[in-house]
């Protein structure tokens, strides 16, 4: 398997008649406004639904293949704060493959550049290999929300 591309987006759709994929609202940057008076932990979770969509080509389509996919979210300090994985059986005669990984909520620790790292392991290889790093710039704005100024 050869990794061709991975994109972080809010939504994707596949037209099964034409086998075309459409990516909507691709993400490179995210701004979060946080009420400083309610901050209770060092890790926040942005309540957003996202998808990590990847495209692969199959090197050996004359046989069944297995792709093990692993993703990590790394914070600006280099700490892995979220990880996920999946395994896919690729049938014989399939020449290309796409996978979509749903992400429910994005954990963040500080403002800065985060990375989604994508790894692959093919057909029982010993180790995972890094195939992509997607930057996501997160800006956190801490504000004291004045509840008395909100009109009912």
Please state, rounded to an integer, the average pLDDT across all residues of the chain: 88
Q: How would residue 119 be classed by pLDDT, with cut points 50, 70 and 90? A: very high
Do residues 100 and 88 touch, judged by C-beta distance below 8 A? no
Q: How would residue 134 be classed by pLDDT, with cut points 50, 70 and 90? A: very high
Which two tokens mark 44? 């926040």
CATH class of 2-143: mainly beta
CA–CA dist 132, 139 (Å, integer): 23
Burial of 106 (0-12, 13-18, 19+ CB in 10 A): buried
Predicted TM-score (pTM) of the model is 0.83
Strands, sheet with 129-143, edge to edge from the N-terminal-most edge strand? 29-35, 129-143, 112-122, 65-74, 80-90
- Break the chain into its structural domains and give their ranges: 2-143
Burial of 46 (0-12, 13-18, 19+ CB in 10 A): middle
Bridge partners (DSSP) listed for residue 59: none
pLDDT tens column, 85-112: 999 999 999 999 999 999 998 888 889 9
Q: Is the pLDDT of residue 42 over 60?
A: yes
């Amino acid at each position: 398997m050869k990794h061709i591309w991975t994109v972080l987006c809010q939504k994707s759709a596949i037209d099964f008649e034409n086998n075309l994929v459409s990516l909507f609202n691709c993400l490179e940057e995210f701004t979060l406004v946080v009420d400083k008076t309610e901050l209770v932990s060092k890790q926040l979770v942005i309540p957003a639904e996202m998808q990590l969509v990847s495209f692969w080509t199959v090197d050996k389509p004359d046989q069944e293949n297995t792709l093990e996919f692993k993703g990590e979210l790394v914070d600006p300090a280099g700490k892995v704060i979220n990880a996920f994985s999946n395994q896919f059986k690729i049938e014989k005669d399939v020449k290309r493959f796409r996978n979509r990984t749903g992400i429910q909520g994005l954990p963040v620790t500080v403002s800065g550049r985060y990375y989604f790292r994508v790894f692959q392991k093919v057909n029982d290889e010993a180790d995972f290999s890094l195939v992509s790093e997607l930057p996501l710039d997160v800006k956190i704005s801490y504000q004291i929300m004045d509840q008395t100024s909100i009109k009912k």
